Amino acid sequence: MRFATALFLASLCLAQPPDANYDESKVGAYQLPDLLGEAKTSRDWTSKRRPEILHLFENQMFGVAPGRPKDMSFEVLEQGEAFDGKARRKQVQVAFAKGPNAPKMEILLYLPAGVKGKAPVFLGLNFQGNHAITDDPAVHITRSWMRNIPGNRSDESKRAAAASRWDIPAILAAGYGVASIYYGDIDPDFDDGFQNGVHPLFYKPGQTRPAASEWGSIAAWAWGLSRALDYLETDPGADAKRVAVLGHSRLGKTSLWAGAIDPRFSIVISNDSGAGGAALSRRIYGEEVRHLNKSFPHWFAGNFKQYSSNEAAMPFDQHMLIALMAPRPVYVASAVEDRWADPKGEFLSAAAATPAYKLFGLSGLPATEMPGIEQPVMGTIGYHVRRGKHDVTAYDWEQFLKFARMHWKR
């Protein structure tokens, strides 16, 4: 076995240890924290209960993030035609501060050429660089630090490596645009004590790392998504009132948090986000809080560490994260072989968010039993479990586009 392969397998084992529960009969009885509390109306929810829940997630799980930096600037680095004239491409640099050493991210944006006026946009972070989501040769190669590749830098050989996860032709054909950013532009995904990425930009004098209630990496990635939305608000071709934020896996945890913290996102989509995302923590099935905190100590706020093997003490569970989107549409997608992410726990969580939607007279998730494989359910909350493994597929995109059309009515 090549050393790199051995290392990769070892890292997989580390992330999915053998002590995880995959036996449904071992899921004990658990009680979810009360979602509505005293809230009886949508107004109670919006003015009191929602802020309480948001505050809990901010302080105990993802960490408090700063707002929009005052010296942020946008620069269109390149633009042109793409996808045989079906799209207009823009590559936009976002500088989070002034000066040559300011942290920066690069947005790759495609807008549908045939649409007059502003087009709704799907916005999501990517794992392998902007050049990996398409074979478009004009897309800049992302040079930021990257996990799991030799030398931690990408190159031309990775162009289109993740294109199967981004069904750009289908998105454009639906009349929508798509924008993506390499997540490591915002904060490299390793535990470096928060010395690189965007965190240091906001340290107070003498501060060397975020406080226990302050942002970890997921909150930083979500913050980057809000900054991308700041840019889309200025782009004449993008309908910033119709932006769906989406993400897969750790980036699905991120899209849920982005949607919770930033109500400007019109639709929120989680794909296989699992533990710390859509899946209920109290089921203790697949990945658990202790696994998250051990393998990825930089993802969440310091305060989240107290819940390792201590889920019953959490003042929230993940159904409350989904409910933070109410009354906006939210979609949860699972894959049947992705047991580490607990598909059933993702479904139950989406279903348990429904009472918040009912306060608005909305359907929430119109299902109480887990639907069959590839039988999507779509209300204000949508859910499907498809066949196959942990991934984003054309099937997933087909449902996301259908869900968006249903809610955006265009």
Closest C-alpha to 212, from 90, 60, 79: 60
What are the phi and psi torsion angles at 275 (to 5°)?
-60, 135
- For the bound state, the minimum distance from the C-beta of residue 253 to ligand GCU, rounded and expressed in Å, comes to 7
354 CA to centre of own chain: 20
Query: Of 107 and 335, which CB lies nearer to ligand GCU in the complex structure?
Result: 335
Closest C-alpha to 44, from 288, 280, 307, 326: 326
- For the bound state, the minimum distance from the C-beta of residue 101 to ligand GCU, rounded and expressed in Å, comes to 29
- For the bound state, the minimum distance from the C-beta of residue 249 to ligand GCU, rounded and expressed in Å, comes to 3
Task: Find the radius of gyration of the CA atoms of the chain.
Answer: 20
Query: Of 110 and 299, which CB lies nearer to ligand GCU in the complex structure?
Result: 299
From 42, 180, 249, 266, active-site residue: 249
386 with 336: CB under 8 angstroms? Answer: yes
What are the phi and psi torsion angles at 378 (to 5°)?
-130, 105
Query: Of 35 and 218, which CB lies nearer to ligand GCU in the complex structure?
Result: 218
Helix or strand run (H / E) with residue 318: helix 318-323
Interface with ligand GCU by CB under 6 A: which residues?
A: 15, 249-250, 274-275, 287, 295, 340
144 is catalytic: no
39 with 359: CB under 8 angstroms? Answer: yes
Query: Of 214 and 338, which CB lies nearer to ligand GCU in the complex structure?
Result: 338
Cβ contacts of 51 within 8 Å, gap of 6 or more: none
273 is catalytic: no
- For the bound state, the minimum distance from the C-beta of residue 89 to ligand GCU, rounded and expressed in Å, comes to 27
Query: Of 183 and 357, which CB lies nearer to ligand GCU in the complex structure?
Result: 183
The C-alpha atoms of residue 325 and residue 323 are separated, in whole angstroms, by: 5
- For the bound state, the minimum distance from the C-beta of residue 232 to ligand GCU, rounded and expressed in Å, comes to 25
Q: Are strands 119-126 and 381-386 parallel, antiparallel or unpaired?
A: unpaired
Active site residues: 249, 390
